[in-house]
Amino acid sequence: MKNGKLFGVIALAVTMLIGCGPAAHIEKANNIKLNKYQSFAWAQNEKKASRANLAEQKVKDAVSMELEKTMGWREVKSNPDLILSYDVLVEKGSRVQSDPMYSWGGFRSFYNPYRRRFYNVYYPSHFIGYDNYRVPVKNGTIVITMVDTNTGNTVVQGWATDEIDSSRITTAEVNRIVKAIFKKLNDEV
């Protein structure tokens, strides 16, 4: 019986942790079989290529690693099956936070005229509800677009948004968002 309860608690904790990740969304073209693709390359944007930085390379590395690991595709320099592009957006937002509220607990003195004494009575605090308020946050969104090189049509577009810690998106945040996108993509395939 104890093992069953322990397993239930562990399963609940794992389920809650899995549910805490970013929510990803996928749009696929109709009648597309992703297993027919085997290679990809990154689209070259002249403006982006001239000011390429470490953050952009983090996104490319994370996406390339997920494509190689989950889909078995490889990055090539010529004649790819798919052309990939991405967009990163960091914007201000807010979320609702709730804190529990309790009544004041403490002592109150009473006089007993029969005993001619004062008595202190303790009143414990009671839960009275939640204090809801908005907290400013920054949200990071990554959008990944895959275009078929033969037809020029968009095959897959996936995006996910997650709360980030600063105005610049970190490697860990990029990896978490990209993993959520490809998990959703694999679930839909």
CATH number at residue 74: 3.30.160.670
Return phi, psi of residue 126, to 5°.
-125, 145
Percent of the chain with pLDDT over 90: 33
Contact 162, 140 (CB under 8 A): yes
**Based on the domain organization, do 38 and 86 belong to the same domain?**
yes
Q: How far is CA 18 from CA 6, 23, 71, 112, 165, in A?
A: 18, 11, 22, 59, 20
Beta bridge partners of 3: none
User: Both tokens of residue 108?
Assistant: 């109150």
At residue 99, the pLDDT reads 94
Side chain identity, residue 127? F
CA distance 110 to 118: 5
Contact 38, 81 (CB under 8 A): yes
> Is 166 within a domain?
yes
Query: Nearest 10 degrees: CA dihedral of 19, 92, 146, 157?
Result: 60
Name the pLDDT band for 21 (thresholds 50, 70, 90).
confident
Could you read off the pLDDT of 74-119 as tens digits, one per residue? 999 889 999 999 998 888 989 999 999 998 888 888 898 998 999 8
pLDDT at 22 over 70: yes
Instruction: Specify the DSSP element, H or E, that contains 154.
Output: strand 154-164
**Averaged pLDDT for residues 58-82:** 90
**Based on the domain organization, do 162 and 89 belong to the same domain?**
yes
Tally the domains of the chain: 2
Output the CA torsion sign for 164, 165, 166, 168: negative
Which of 95, 68, 66 has its CA nearest to residue 174? 66
DSSP letter for 174, please. H
Please tell me the total number of residues recorded for the chain in this structure: 189
Number of H helices, E strands in the chain: 4, 8
**Based on the domain organization, do 81 and 41 belong to the same domain?**
yes
What's the whole-model pTM score? Answer: 0.70
Contact 88, 57 (CB under 8 A): no
> Is 68 within a domain?
yes
Residue keyed to tokens 């597309």: 32
Could you read off the pLDDT of 157-180 as tens digits, one per residue? 999 998 888 777 888 888 899 999
User: Both tokens of residue 129?
Assistant: 């509800």
**Averaged pLDDT for residues 22-36:** 86
**Whole-number average pLDDT of the chain:** 83
> Is 34 within a domain?
yes
Lowest mean pLDDT among 11-15, 44-48, 125-129, 161-165: 11-15
Return the higher-pLDDT residue of 9 and 62.
62
> Is 8 within a domain?
no
Domain span including residue 114 = 99-130
CA distance 89 to 139: 8
